[in-house]
Structures are given as C-alpha cells and as structure tokens.
Amino acid sequence: MKEPASERLDATFIALADPTRRAILARLARKEASVNELAEPFAMSQPAISKHLKVLERAGLISVAQEGQRRPRRLEVRPLAEASAWIDRYREIWEANFTRLDTLLEELQQKPARRSRKKS
C-alpha cells in the first residue's frame, strides 16, 4: 500500500508546485467550471489551460463530469487531504522535537554562563 500511495503523492506535489494550477484549484473549489470558463480569468489560451488541467487530472485533483454538451471540471478533495495529512505527520514529528528545544533554550537563557560547558 506504501508504493501506490507514495506515487500518488508525487503526482499531487508536482501538480501543486505551479501557481496557475493552484489558482485553478482555488477557482474550482468555489464552483465547477468548463475549460473556457477557466481560461478567461487566467488570460491564457485554451491549450495552455488544458495542459495544466491534464496535470491536475493525472494527479486525481480534478475530475471531468459529463453534462450534455458541457464537460465541467470538478475539484477532488481526497488527494489534497492525503498530501496534507502526510506532510502534517512528518511536521508533527519535527515539531515535537522543536517544542522540547524551545523549552531547553528558554532554560539555558534563564541560568546563563555559570554552568555552561567548556568551549572546544
């Protein structure tokens, strides 16, 4: 289960590494939209937008619905939540260490010099 999860996360991180793609996701978070509707506010050509959409789709961050003639794009929340849960967990491990370091540094500053270790 580890491998597929990690591959999926890679795709998610690559997809999120671009500001236009993040803006597209922010836009889709409000409401689903067609390629044309997405191209407009970003002042980009349709092919350029389509390229970004493909990356997002491959990462599973958006899906394409079929509504008659329209094929609106929708935001898919799950990969985002997975990516953030994954990074959060990693950050928590560090943060636990850093919180202890906060306490230690505070303590060291309260009782200075006298008990400091010899300099190398």
Partner 1 sequence: MTMDKAQVSMPSDREVKVTRSFQAPRALVYRAYTEPKLLQRWLLGPPGWTMPVCEMDVRVGGSYRWRWRSNEDRTEFGFSGVFREVEPAKKLVHTEKYDAGTTGVGESGGESLVTVSFDEQGGVTTVTSLMDFGSKEARDAAVATGMTDGMEQSYQLLDKMLAEQ
Residues that bind partner 1 (CB under 8 A): 2, 6, 9-10, 13-14, 77-78, 81-82, 85-106, 108-109, 117, 120
Shortest Cβ distance from residue 27 to partner 1 (Å)? 21
Q: Give the helix/strand (H/E) hosting 64.
A: strand 62-64
* Nearer to partner 1 (CB atom), residue 36 or residue 97: 97
- The rounded distance, in Å, linking the Cα atoms of 24 and 42 is 9
- Tokens coding 44: 């980009």
Q: How far is the CB of 70 from partner 1 (least distance, A)?
A: 25
Length of the chain equals 120
Can you tell me which residue has the tokens 């997809």? 15
Nearer to partner 1, 43 or 93 (CB): 93
**Strand, helix or coil at 94?**
helix
Minimal distance, residue 22 CB to partner 1, in Å: 14
